Amino acid sequence: MTLAFTPPWWAKNPHVQTILPVMRKIPMPVVKRERLELQDGDFIDLDWLGKPEDGQLILLIVHGLEGSAQSHYARRMLDEAKQQGLCTVVHHHRSCSGEPNRLARSYHSGDTEDVSFTLKTLKQRCPNSPLLGIGYSLGGNVLAKYQGTYREQSLLSRAVVVSAPLALGACAKRLEGGFSTVYQSYLIKQLQQKMRTKLETPELQTAMPVDHSQLANLSTFYLFDDKITAPLHGFDGAEDYYNRASGLSFLQHITVPTLIIHAQDDPFMTDEVIPAQHQLSSAVEYELHQYGGHVGFINGGTPWQPKFYLEHRALRFLLNGASNDSSLRGADNTAK
């Protein structure tokens, strides 16, 4: 049964849905940091809630652009997972764990290789543990692309994709107009600061595609992606990056049960991210709501103590569905 999402009257504005959750302080559960060394000399940091044991369900959280385990949505999911006794791990994109990564390259919306490396590591350690995944925003696009790329070889038994910019070019354009420019400005400043740090690192300077003065002029996602994201990650400009990294075209190839949740009023999106029926495989359950903003989905409470839809909906899909999947039967699931 799908849980109903009905926002209260005071939360039907997309910017209230998007901004208010950021302002609500959620206690951070105690997590344990682990560093995975990558073959290219870089690293990935994981934050663990609970100790993984072979045969136990493991939930992987993939955060959004410039997010981390500290992001409001990650904190809420960690808190809910703690209450249910579910072993959970946050995969940090390169440079997002509080420490700069070592290489000139960083992460991007279509980077499935790092998530794949994390999942392979988990499966090697706990071969009998079903792996579940949830990705938010950029992390949701990464997860959707991973599912559609690896198909039957996906190491995730079930997955949830939330507020994913499945059509990156359209989303970049959307953020150049109206109040959405506020979100763009906030995120671009964070990205620029990380690039400044790399430009000031002697061993990385020659690998950077721009200098300080050029960086200061990259005030939109399109410009930043065209001059930095694309060349650093092997794409021929922003258009090539958007075409190859967008998750929309991968949805039809997904073979593992995957839930996708969008809000039609998401200030980061346009209707171009909404898939047509023929773009969805039979393994994809698509949920489109009139309201919800970007990774918001407040469905009750008060403006001072809002209640949220996402955690209960995602875990209902992941855990209740898990109990019905033949691949998960017999798993030692402590989250009941």
| CATH number for the domain harbouring residue 273 | 3.40.50.1820
Specify whether 123 is located in the same domain as 210.
Answer: no
> Into how many domains does the chain fold?
2
Specify whether 131 is located in the same domain as 37.
Answer: yes
Specify whether 193 is located in the same domain as 215.
Answer: yes
Residue 139 pLDDT greater than 80, yes or no = yes
Specify whether 223 is located in the same domain as 119.
Answer: no
Specify whether 213 is located in the same domain as 115.
Answer: no
Specify whether 252 is located in the same domain as 132.
Answer: yes
Residue 72 pLDDT greater than 90, yes or no = yes
Q: Examine residue 3 and state whether it is found in any structural domain, yes or no.
A: no
How many Cα atoms occupy the beta-carbon half-sphere of 207 within 13 Å? Answer: 15
Specify whether 128 is located in the same domain as 239.
Answer: no
Specify whether 218 is located in the same domain as 265.
Answer: no
Q: Examine residue 173 and state whether it is found in any structural domain, yes or no.
A: no
Specify whether 228 is located in the same domain as 126.
Answer: no
- Mean pLDDT (the chain) is 93
Q: Examine residue 44 and state whether it is found in any structural domain, yes or no.
A: yes
Nearest to 328 by CA among 120, 55, 88, 126: 55
Q: What is the distance between the alpha carbons of residues 157 and 209, in angstroms, rounded to a whole number? A: 39
Residue 25 pLDDT greater than 90, yes or no = no
Residue 328 pLDDT greater than 60, yes or no = no
216 lies in which domain range?
181-245
Question: Please, are residues 296 and 18 in contact by the beta-carbon 8 Å criterion?
Answer: yes
Please identify, among 189, 211, 245, the residue that sits at the C-terminal boundary of a domain.
Answer: 245
Q: Examine residue 331 and state whether it is found in any structural domain, yes or no.
A: no
Sheet with strand 284-289: strands edge to edge:
32-37, 43-49, 87-91, 58-62, 131-136, 156-162, 258-263, 284-289
Give the Cα-Cα-Cα angle 155, 156, 161 (nearest 5 degrees): 140
Please identify, among 224, 245, 266, the residue that sits at the C-terminal boundary of a domain.
Answer: 245
Q: Examine residue 2 and state whether it is found in any structural domain, yes or no.
A: no
Encode pLDDT of 262-309 as tens digits.
999 999 999 999 999 999 999 999 999 999 999 999 999 999 999 999
Specify whether 157 is located in the same domain as 224.
Answer: no
Please identify, among 245, 273, 292, the residue that sits at the C-terminal boundary of a domain.
Answer: 245
Provide the annotated active-site residues: 137, 266, 294
Q: Examine residue 334 and state whether it is found in any structural domain, yes or no.
A: no
pTM of the model as a whole: 0.94
Q: Examine residue 215 and state whether it is found in any structural domain, yes or no.
A: yes
Nearest to 141 by CA among 174, 190, 96, 107: 107
Q: Examine residue 130 and state whether it is found in any structural domain, yes or no.
A: yes
